[in-house]
Amino acid sequence: MKRDLICIICPRGCAMHVEGEKDNLTVTGNACPKGKQYAIDECTHPTRTVTSIVRVSNREDTMVSVKTAAPIPKENIFDVMAKIRATKVEAPIEAGTVILSDIYGTEVIATKSIF
Amino acid sequence: MTAHDIVIVGGGPAGMAAAVAAYDSGVTDVVILDREDSVGGILRQCIHNGFGLHKLGRELTGPEYADVYRKEVEKRGIKIYCETMVTAVSTDRVVTARNRQGIMKIQAGAVVLAMGCRERSRGALNISGTRPAGVYSAGTAQKLINCEGYMVGKKVVILGSGDIGLIMARRMSFEGAKVEAVCEIMPYSGGLTRNIVQCLEDYGIPLYLSTTVAEIHGQKRVEGVTIAEVDENRRVKEETKRYIPCDTLLLSCGLIPENELTRSAGIPIDPITSGALVDENRETATPGIFACGNVLQVHDLVDYVSDEAEIAGIGAANFVKNGAVTGETVATKPGNGVRYVLPQRVHTDKGNDVALFMRVTQPFGKVRFTVKSGDEVLATAVRLKAAPGEMEKIVVKSEKLALASEPITVSLEVL
């Protein structure tokens, strides 16, 4: 395979080129090892951190922001979004509290404290 | 009238980092005034991740990044006044503010301006058409969706490819809306490359360059927009007009530093950055009044806002402890390919290295920046690429700075 991609790890945005077979990929154009890893992951099993919001049922017009504690497979983003959307929580919530567990090998946690 | 050593106007990332840095420099009587009901500023609605990679070495969401600094502020016992709106700052550093308790006047030893910026509105863009509901600035939509849980629309066109617009394209897609197009009047995007990749390309959202919204349609609610390509003078090409049905238009067309207080204090403003003219300590032309963060220059990354705010916080603390910085300054000026340079003046004889920040006029490939004073080359830097959306930083060493007797010019040559 051959693929050109732009690194999203940091704002530098390196233009990278990937060539080779699935378990023997060569990456060029990356400025750091994180970029190489990103390129290989992106070509074999792309992942993303998902961030969203969950309604706080005992506060008026209040949402608590959440994220997956680790990146999840890219193809599962909309499934995770559906699970997040179906969830409600009650305040008080500490940032870091687990909102949903067992989400593609990780969990969804609060990123804001609601007192 | 009460008195405090340092008064900080705005409790966003800039204000909090300035407060912490000032405190750690030995001035502990620091207060933060913020008009919202809690500190954190715009980070509170930026629920996406990608903050803190540079400054904190880990990837955080906006609320988490704000929380890191809120905890540092609270740990030091720095007093925060929320729901407190500063209405005036005078050149002799009297800060007037009002809240539910009434009006307060504070005599400050030093003031740090950290009010942030706001979005350019439809009125400022002069888009023709009707005036229906459903036209939002991208940041307003972001606040409604992320903080209040109110979904603003289902079929969306976004004008402007700044970072907020790109982030909102992804956010709206996550919440089930269809983003029909992102239109950018310039021939290149103003957003970070990584945001184009992870917010548009990931979700198959088209980005139309050299394209604008020529007209808004709809009576009560937006029913559609006419988009069109523009020529090199940004005039609409009539033959390229086409109609896109939608119920929502988001505007992400630039940020304007919120400098009303600065202007009414008579503090000189740089017409290009729309922020105050400052020296390397981020002190404005008015002694004892400092500025940092997006009220000074619009940044790409909050990490760099925090860095800049620390400079201003330390500057304010030194002003309180030692009085004004004396000595000659030389001006900095943008040269070929450079739009502005900040700080706009620097002291040359303080024995400190000084970092110059700048933006280029258009996207370039490989370039070399040269910092010169007269014929003296003070610093050079090579970059593989440069774009207006990505701020550049070049450090001038103290021994080189000491050689600068004429204005310092930063220019670039394409390699």
Which tens digit of pLDDT belongs to each residue from B202-220?
899 999 999 999 999 999 9
Same domain, yes or no: B37 and B25: yes
Contact A55 B67 (CB under 8 A): no
Residues B37-90 pLDDT 10s: 999 999 999 999 989 988 998 999 999 999 999 999 999 999 999 999 999 999
| CA–CA separation, B115 and B84 (whole Å) | 13
Same domain, yes or no: B125 and B92: no
Same domain, yes or no: B158 and B232: yes
- Closest by CA to B95, choosing from B261, B276, B257, B258, is B261
Q: Which residue has the higher pLDDT, B219 or B194?
A: B219
CATH of the domain at B368: 2.60.40
A14 is in which domain, residue-wise? 2-44
What pLDDT, on a 0 to 100 scale, did the predictor assign at position A11? 64
Token code pair at residue B213: 């919204």
Same domain, yes or no: B249 and B301: no
Contact B47 A65 (CB under 8 A): yes
Q: Which of B253, B268, B285 is the last residue of a domain?
A: B253
A37 in a domain, yes or no?
yes
Same domain, yes or no: A37 and A67: no
Same domain, yes or no: A20 and A62: no
Using CA atoms of B106, B112, B114, B120 in order, give the dihedral in degrees to the nearest 10. 90
What pLDDT, on a 0 to 100 scale, did the predictor assign at position B327? 87
B363 is in which domain, residue-wise? 328-415
CATH of the domain at B245: 3.50.50.60
Same domain, yes or no: A9 and A34: yes
Same domain, yes or no: A12 and A28: yes
Q: What is the DSSP code (8-state) at residue A47? A: E
Residue B130 has pLDDT above 90, yes or no: yes
| CA–CA separation, B312 and B7 (whole Å) | 12
Same domain, yes or no: A72 and A102: yes
What pLDDT, on a 0 to 100 scale, did the predictor assign at position A3? 87
Same domain, yes or no: B154 and B234: yes
Residue A8 has pLDDT above 90, yes or no: no
pLDDT confidence band for A61 (50 / 70 / 90): confident
The mean pLDDT value for B226-243 works out to 96
A14 in a domain, yes or no?
yes
Residue B82, burial from CB neighbour count under 10 angstroms (0-12, 13-18, 19+): middle
Same domain, yes or no: B247 and B270: no
Same domain, yes or no: A39 and A81: no
Residue B197 has pLDDT above 90, yes or no: no
What pLDDT, on a 0 to 100 scale, did the predictor assign at position B276? 98
A115 in a domain, yes or no?
no
Same domain, yes or no: B5 and B115: yes
Q: Which of B201, B235, B253 is the last residue of a domain?
A: B253
CATH of the domain at A83: 3.10.530.10
Chain A residues near residue B196 by CB distance under 8 angstroms: 6
Same domain, yes or no: B236 and B125: yes
Same domain, yes or no: B245 and B277: no
A104 in a domain, yes or no?
yes
A12 in a domain, yes or no?
yes
Chain A residues near residue B47 by CB distance under 8 angstroms: 51-53, 65-67, 111-112
Q: What is the DSSP code (8-state) at residue B322? A: H
> What is the number of structural domains in chain A?
2
- Closest by CA to B203, choosing from B226, B181, B227, is B181
> What is the number of structural domains in chain B?
3
Same domain, yes or no: A102 and A61: yes
Contacts of B399 (CB under 8 A, 6+ apart): none
Chain A residues near residue B150 by CB distance under 8 angstroms: 61
pLDDT confidence band for B195 (50 / 70 / 90): confident
- Chain B closest-CA separation from residue A111 CA (Å): 6
Chain A residues near residue B54 by CB distance under 8 angstroms: 10
Average pLDDT, chain B: 95
Residue B251 has pLDDT above 80, yes or no: yes
| CA–CA separation, B111 and B131 (whole Å) | 41
Q: Which of B17-31, B287-301, B377-391 has the lowest mean pLDDT?
A: B377-391
Contact B301 A11 (CB under 8 A): yes
Residue B406 has pLDDT above 80, yes or no: yes
Q: Which of A38, A50, A60, A63 to mutate to test the interface with B (most CBs of B within 10 A)?
A: A63
Q: Which of B203, B228, B253 is the last residue of a domain?
A: B253
| CA–CA separation, B348 and B354 (whole Å) | 9
Q: What is the DSSP code (8-state) at residue B376? A: E
A38 in a domain, yes or no?
yes
Same domain, yes or no: A38 and A61: no
Same domain, yes or no: B220 and B300: no
| CA–CA separation, B47 and B193 (whole Å) | 19
Same domain, yes or no: A70 and A35: no
A40 in a domain, yes or no?
yes
Find the residue in B nearest to A48 (Cα). Answer: B198
A39 in a domain, yes or no?
yes
pLDDT > 90 in chain B, percent: 91
Q: What is the DSSP code (8-state) at residue B230? A: B
Same domain, yes or no: A34 and A68: no
Same domain, yes or no: B144 and B289: no
